[in-house]
Amino acid sequence: MAETDKKREAIIEGAIKRFIHYGINKTTMNEIAEDLSVSKPSLYYYFPDKNSLVLGVIEKIFNDYFELVAQEMLTAVPIDIRMANIIEIRHRFFQKYYMLHLSGGSPDSSLASDELRAHFMSMHKRNIELHAALFEKAAEQKEIAPADMYRTAELYLDCLAGITSLCILHGNKELFPSKKEIKTILERQLRLSAIFIKGLK
């Protein structure tokens, strides 16, 4: 990896740590520069503004997620187990990056620029396409019946996101969901996935 790429990655990792701890809104570029002991001109060389840095963070997180999902696609397991494994991956990312509010479909208000919103939605579309490919593969292997797999994947992911939103909405109103709520989200998503896949057979 080129030196410039290493520095860029280090800045993104530093930003993620601060964003996770304080949230995106309450983090300034100056604080990130101080955390990393880099000059502000150096920081702005790689990321001209906060929006571009947040964009880099979104790309990093989603690319890591998609890489793990792609690896799961290569495993030789039945579709119901494969989808449960992906829910587990999704859940780990939800817990780690909850303060960024990326996984539930309701991003932090600092992601309100058109560019960031468009990029966030492109990542969401890519996630739907990945799941549609998983369902297509299962249909080819006669595990589930043929259908419009893009719309099926979209509905599947909306249902999972709905469980997350409802559990948080009816939770303890704290900044971060309790361990019980986190566990409930995972259990309900796994149950829903099992029922959903059974209905596709």
8-state DSSP, 170: T
User: Total domain count for the chain?
Assistant: 1
- Mean pLDDT along residues 151-175: 82
User: Is residue 77 situated within a structural domain?
Assistant: yes
> Per residue in 13-32, pLDDT tens?
999 998 888 878 888 899 99
Residue carrying structure tokens 């990056």:
97
- pLDDT for 110 equals 52
- pLDDT for 46 equals 92
> Per residue in 62-72, pLDDT tens?
999 999 999 99
> Per residue in 113-158, pLDDT tens?
778 788 888 999 999 999 999 999 999 999 999 999 999 999 999 9
User: Is residue 184 situated within a structural domain?
Assistant: yes
Residues 6 or more apart whose Cβ sits within 8 Å of residue 94: 103, 104, 164, 185
**Residue 84 CA: distances (Å) to CA of 17, 127, 188, 196:** 28, 15, 11, 11
Residues 33 and 30: their CA atoms lie apart, in Å, by 5
> Quick check: 101 pLDDT over 70?
no
- Greater confidence, 150 or 176? 150
- Report residue 37: phi and psi, to 5°: 55, 45
Which of 2-6, 130-134, 158-162 is the least confident region? 2-6
Quick one: tokens of 193? Answer: 């996935």
Q: What is the domain extent for residue 97? A: 51-200
Q: DSSP of 26-93, one letter per residue?
A: T--HHHHHHHHT--HHHHHHH-SSHHHHHHHHHHHHHHHHHHHHHHHHTS---HHHHHHHHHHHHHHH
Q: Which of 65, 87, 66 is closest to 197 using CA atoms?
A: 87
Residues 98 and 22: their CA atoms lie apart, in Å, by 11
In which band, very low, low, confident or very high, does the pLDDT at 174 lie, cut at 50, 70 and 90? low
> Quick check: 84 pLDDT over 80?
yes
Residues 6 or more apart whose Cβ sits within 8 Å of residue 98: 176, 177
User: Is residue 44 situated within a structural domain?
Assistant: no
User: Is residue 8 situated within a structural domain?
Assistant: no
Here the CATH number for the domain that contains residue 181 is 1.10.357.10
User: Is residue 156 situated within a structural domain?
Assistant: yes
- pLDDT for 144 equals 97
User: Is residue 124 situated within a structural domain?
Assistant: yes
User: Is residue 30 situated within a structural domain?
Assistant: no
What is the rounded average pLDDT for all residues in the chain?
A: 86
User: Residue 156: enclosing H or E segment and its boundaries?
Assistant: helix 149-169
Helices 3-22 & 50-73 angle (0-180, nearest 10)? 100
> Quick check: 188 pLDDT over 60?
yes
User: Is residue 189 situated within a structural domain?
Assistant: yes
Question: Rg of the Cα trace of the chain?
Answer: 19
In percent, how much of the chain has pLDDT > 70?
Answer: 88
